[in-house]
Each structure stands twice: as C-alpha cells, then as structure tokens.
Amino acid sequence: MREAFRQELKDLKVEVLSIGRAVTGVTRDAVTSLVEGDVDLAEKVIAGDAEIDRRTLQVEEHAIEVTATQFPVARDLRLLHSLTYIALHLERMADLGVNIARAAKRTADRRGPQTLYDLIQAQGNLVYRVLDATCEALEKNDLELARKLQDLDEPIDHLYKQFFRELARLQDEEDIEWASSMVLASRYLERIADNAVDIGERIAYLVTGEFDALHDSDEETG
Amino acid sequence: MSYRSTPVPDDALEKITVKGLDFFYGDFHALTDITVGIKEKAVTAFIGPSGCGKSTFLRCFNRMNDLIPGARAEGRITLDGQDIYAAGVDPVDLRRRIGMIFQQPNPFPMSIYDNVAFGPRLQGVKKADLDKIVQTSLERANLWKETKDILGRNGLALSGGQQQRLCIARVLAVEPEVMLMDEPCSAIDPTSVQKIEDLMAELKDRITIVIVTHNMQQAARVSDFTAFFLQEMAGEPAVLVEYDRTANIFTSPKDRRTEDYITGRFG
Ligand SMILES: Nc1ncnc2c1ncn2[C@@H]1O[C@H](COP(=O)(O)OP(=O)(O)O)[C@@H](O)[C@H]1O
Ligand SMILES: [Mg+2]
C-alpha cells in the first residue's frame, strides 16, 4: 500500500510539472500575441485558462485526499504540501498570462513604437528562462537552481523599470490606453517571475526541510 | 494550534535524565550509549521497529528490569537529578513515583473500588480518605461517570478500554510523578483509544508521560517529543537515532534513518 502511495506522489509531481510547462507555454503565447498583435492567439490563451484552473484544482483535491488517508510525513508531507502550494501559484501565473492576452486584444488595433515591443519581448525571453529553470529545479529537486531563480528574476525587474522610462519619452499624441495596457503587460510579466521565485523557495524547503528567509514579495502593489 | 494541548516551553525541566546508558540481557547487548532528557510535564513518545529495545529502555526508568535475572544497566539515569540506581534507592518507592501501564490491561480480580484503593491502602491511607481518592482518581482517568454506580463490580467485568482506564486510575491513585505507558492502546477499541489519548493530554498538566507506541500517527498526535530507536544490524545493540520535538520529527527529521522509518521506507 505504501508503494501505491509513493506512486501517487510521483504522479502528482508529474502533473504539477506538466501544469508548470503549460503555464510556460501560456506565457509565451501571451507575449507573442501582444508583440505580434495576434488576436487569435490571445483568444486561445484566454480560452485555455479554464483547463489550467481545472487541473490545479484537481491537484489540490488529490492532495487533500492523500493527506486524509495516507498520513504523509517528513519529505512525503513536504512534497505533498509544496505541490499544492506550487499548483496554486501556477494557477495565478496562468491568470497573469490571461491578463497579458487581454492587453494584447485591447492593443491589437494599433501599432506603437517598436522599441517598446522589443522591450516586452526581451522581458518575456527572460521570464521564459525563469520558468524553464523553475520546472527543471522542481523536476530534479535541484536546490542550487531553485535558489538561483531570484538572481534570474532581477533583470526582469530592471526591464520593467526601463519600460517606464521609455514610456515617459512618448509624445502626447500617443494613445494613453495603449500605453497603460503595455505597462500593465510588463508588470504582469514581472509578477509571473515573482511567483516563480516563490516556487523556488518552496522547492528549497522541499529539499532541505527548512524555510529560507523569505524574499520581499511586493504585496503592496499586489 | 487549538487541537493540541499546551505547548511545552523550550526551557522545560528534565524530569528524567539518561546519560550513556547501555543495557544487557546476559550476553545480549540490547541498547548502547543512550543519552536523552525526558522533559517534565510533557508527553514523550518512543518509536522504532519491533524489538529495538523501546520497552527495555522504558523499564529502566522504574527499574522493572531489575527483576530479570542476568539483566544489567550501565550508565546513569536520574529522576529529578537523583541517581535511581544509587544504593539506598528503594525500587518499590521508585515504582510508586514512576507508574506503569502495559499493553494488556491488567486489573486485579477485585472490585473497581478495591483496584483503585489498592495502592493507597498499601501506603496506609486511612479508610476515611479512600473514598475521596478513589473518586478523584477515577475522575482523572475519565472513568468516574461510567463506574460511580458500579464501584463494587469486579474490574474484570469492564470492557477492555475501561479496564485500561481503570489501570490508569489505579496508577494515579498513588500520585505518581511519571507514568510509563508501553503500547497502552494496542489491545483496545478505537473509541477507547481516543479517550486515552485525550486523557494523556489532560494528565500532562501534572505528570510526565512516556509512551511506547508502534502507531506513528498516535505518536504524532499525542506527544510533544519523539525519540526514534533503531537496531541497525541483528545482534548489534540498538541506538537512539534522533530525539526532537515531535513536530520536527514528523515534518523535517534530521537523520535519514528516521526519515526512512517514519515514511515507511523500511521497518
Ligand atoms: N527478558 C528478556 N530477556 C532477554 N532478552 C530480552 C528480554 N526482553 C527483551 N529482550 C530482547 O531485547 C530486545 C529488545 O526488546 P524490547 O525492549 O521488547 O523491544 P521493543 O519494545 O522495541 O519491541 C529484543 O531483541 C528482545 O528479544
Ligand atoms: Mg515493546
């Protein structure tokens, strides 16, 4: 019976990893839809969110069931709890991807300065890197990589600030709705990466059994 | 954390202190180099695979092993700082201060009242005081309501779970400071198990409890501290692998062997 339990834990981890890769895909599609003004792709991202919601909820239900019946302890307990926590974060990250896709729909009918699209794309590329590293750290229980996520996140924050500076240079006649949608998109990207850093901390706990000092999450702008 | 009883503070005193204990049954070396401090007014659980010496260690605390021919302990065990193996320590008096509950409830074949009054009578408590002691002890063992009208009935007529609580009342009647419980719930039904677990949480306000249990969930539920024992190789003496707050043992044990045992990876 303990073998079956262990297999269940493994399956659950595989599922969370798979959700993680799906969220990476969502983020890519969302950024592409924004940068290329691709409304169909944006619609696809928005429509796909229900499936991610369903899968994360299923992970949570499954984890509750296993907790109630199998009395997981020690690293099994940490894994189960962390997977639930990670799934919840992934679900929020997918929501942020949907927000980017919505911004893509709002801005698709006009073309702003290319430098800003380039900046968003550059920021997106850095975020994919963080997401790929997050999935890899979880897959391999890689403590070092999990702790490196925070460093990978740093340039993303910088790009967000740079994005602001570029916007400030825009002429008055630039469409204000267009501009604010783009700022929001950059902000959502930055928050997706923040969530990934939180996941990294949870992976570190999973591996070591100890909570690292929590990094400052920027709750105030929530 | 309202589901748990009062947390034991970090600076809680040690009621029983064990230093470098080795234990032998004749040529058989059962335990080696055990050092541990049992905290006062707390519940400490001993866990580990069958045959790793949990009962043996428990029986050292009230010198029950003295009764076994060829058995001997080396090292030091103190109760409130005083060596329990020192010359001049009366084992009978020690066993009053450190009571014991066994796996199989063992009421005496006499009335419920006489079972509880047995110890106090031996101590010469006056007849007039006995009623009060019997009632208080049965109350503290959560058995009063069920037995107050049948005190004259034979203790053996009670259910298994009630018999175990009667044994607890019998121990409590002599006001022990420590209660040792060796798998006290193994032979009783789940409802009674629940009652005894609740009882432990209540009793630890006044006494120190050490429980041997093969049920890890029970250890996690009832204890403040957990000690994990392991005999790594047949024929080798068992060691104390890890001792910590129960919450730490069951979330982040430090020793891989503890981790493997409590997660069911061996044993
Ligand atoms: N009276 C005894 N004489 C000789 N060996 C004993 C005696 N009691 C226990 N042992 C041995 O000591 C070891 C520890 O036993 P015990 O303390 O009962 O373990 P546990 O309570 O962890 O199951 C076992 O190998 C057991 O066979
Ligand atoms: Mg035993």
The verdict on pTM exceeding 0.80 is yes
For residue B28 and ligand 1, the question of a CB distance below 6 A is answered with yes
pLDDT digits (tens, 9 = 90+) for A80-95: 999 999 999 999 999 9
At A103-142, the pLDDT tens digits run 999 999 888 889 899 999 999 999 999 999 999 999 999 9
Q: Can you give the pLDDT at residue B5?
A: 64
> Taking CB atoms and an 8 Å cutoff, what residues of chain B touch A209?
251-253
SS (H, E, C) chain A: CHHHHHHHHHHHHHHHHHHHHHHHHHHHHHHHHHHHCCHHHHHHHHHHHHHHHHHHHHHHHHHHHHHHHHCCCHHHHHHHHHHHHHHHHHHHHHHHHHHHHHHHHHHCCCCCCHHHHHHHHHHHHHHHHHHHHHHHHHHHCCHHHHHHHHHHHHHHHHHHHHHHHHHHCCCCCCCHHHHHHHHHHHHHHHHHHHHHHHHHHHHHHHHHCCCCCCCCCCHHHC
Q: Of A1-5, A63-67, A126-130, which range is least confident?
A: A1-5
Query: Does residue A210 belong to the interface with chain B, where contact is any CB pair within 8 Å?
Result: yes
Contact of A40 with chain B, judged by CB distance below 8 Å, is answered with no
Q: What is the pLDDT of residues B54-74, one digit of tens each?
A: 999 999 999 999 989 999 999
B16 touches ligand 1 (CB under 6 Å)? no
Q: What is the pLDDT of residue B4?
A: 56
Q: Which of A5, A71, A74 sits opposite B251 (nearest CB)?
A: A74
Mean pLDDT of B164-181: 98
Tell me how many residue pairs between chain A and chain B have CB atoms under 8 A apart.
32
Q: What per-residue confidence (pLDDT) applies to A212?
A: 72
Distance from CA of B206 to the nearest CA of A (A): 30
Asked if this assembly's ipTM is beyond 0.90, the reply is no
Question: By the CB < 8 Å criterion, does A165 face chain B?
Answer: no
* pLDDT, averaged across chain B: 94
- Ligand 1, atom nearest to B26 Cα: 4
Q: Which of B216, B220, B259 sits opposite A75 (nearest CB)?
A: B259
